[in-house]
Amino acid sequence: MTEVHRSDAPKNWSVCSSSFRSCRAFSSSSSSRTMTGVKNFVQAASAWTRNLYSCEINPRPHVRRHEGPPPRSPCDKALLTKTSTTLAAVVAFFTSRFLSPFILTFLPLVQLVQQATTPAAAITYAGKPHQPYPHCLEKDVVIRNAGRALFLNMGAFGAIEGCYNDDCTMTDKFAAPDFETCINMCYTIPECTWWSFGTEKSDNMTKCWIRVADDGREELGEGSGFVSGAKVCLPETVKEYPMGNAGCWIDGFDYDMCCDPKFGSAGNTQCWDGHFSHERCCVSPEQIRR
């Protein structure tokens, strides 16, 4: 049989056959030495802890009983520091030798089990759990201004009528044919978090109102025709509205550079040539009509 020599084995087991039965005694001896080391470490740590506690709670001065330098007290600071350093090294060794492999092996498994058994946090809005579309729509609810209206250039996204003061370049509302238009507009605008859709009595137009919060929430009577929703209330068919004509924005040009209202009704003249113009680029080809 093949023989395996272990230089670190005891003399009476210096030669060990490849048979498990012959090597089992050596393995038991190694395990015994390991357990003895652990036991000694625990005893040393306990003694050091008792000494430290005694020194902090009831320090005792050195008692000189003979000539020469006094004996080193368990409360000697240098001795305690040296002992602490030694114990820290021992703890580090045992941690890297025995605990680290266990942690690296089983911790990922524990995390996977925890993730699989922990329910996902529910998305909430208006104090209620978020429901899938269309159950998340809130019928007969309107989100009024209450200082949370979002005024911006809705004309850039195709709004052409029903705007605040008839100015779609700075408005929180616009005429729309259906509430799906409100969903798309809120999805397009990063600041939008809520929207409402209904008929404004002053002009009898169906409109969208864009909000940054639902502070102005008001529940109306049944059959009001109003419906509201949060930004997270989305169908799979939701789409983002482009700013102006997306086909114009090449070579570093964009809507803000060429069509911002600050440039006036003609836009930024430096953007236009025989092919590109304000009429073609600044007016969205997807105009929103009732």
| CA-to-CA dists, residue 136 to 97, 118, 128, angstroms | 55, 24, 10
Domain contains 63: no
Residue type, 132: P
- Using CA atoms in the order 168, 173, 175, 181, what is the torsion angle rounded to 10 degrees? 110
Whether residues 222 and 260 share a domain: the answer is no
Q: Report phi then psi at 152, rounded to 5.
A: -160, -175
Question: Are 193 and 232 spatial neighbours (Cβ–Cβ below 8 Å)?
Answer: no
**Would strands 138-139 and 227-230 be described as parallel, antiparallel, or unpaired?**
antiparallel
Mark out the alpha helices in 7-76 (DSSP H runs): 20-57
> Do 215 and 263 lie in a common domain?
no
| 50 lies in some domain | yes
- CATH number for position 227: 3.50.4.10
Number of domains observed in the structure of the chain: 3
Q: Are residues 224 and 259 in the same domain?
A: no
- pLDDT score for 187: 97
Length of the chain measured in residues: 290
The answer to whether residues 222 and 257 belong to one domain is no
Residue 69, domain member (yes or no): no
Residue 280, domain extent: 242-290
Residue 185: inside a domain: yes
Indicate if 274 and 206 belong to the same structural domain: no
Q: Which residues contact residue 240 at a Cβ distance below 8 angstroms, ignoring those fewer than 6 apart?
A: 184, 187, 188
Phi and psi at residue 60, in whole multiples of 5°?
-120, 135
Are 52 and 82 in the same domain? yes
Residues 136 and 231 in one domain: yes
pLDDT at 162: 97
Residues 12 and 54 in one domain: yes
Residue 220: inside a domain: yes
Q: Which of the listed residues 241, 261, 280 is the one where a domain comes to its end?
A: 241
Q: What is the pLDDT along the chain (290 residues), one digit of tens a residue?
A: 444 444 444 444 434 444 444 444 444 454 455 556 556 655 666 665 555 545 544 444 443 444 444 454 555 555 555 556 666 666 666 666 666 565 556 566 556 556 555 454 455 555 566 689 999 999 999 999 999 999 999 999 999 999 999 999 999 999 999 999 999 999 999 999 999 999 999 999 999 999 999 999 999 999 999 999 999 999 999 999 999 999 999 999 999 999 999 999 899 999 999 899 999 999 898 889 87
Q: Is the pTM of this model over 0.85?
A: no
11 with 46, same domain: the answer is yes
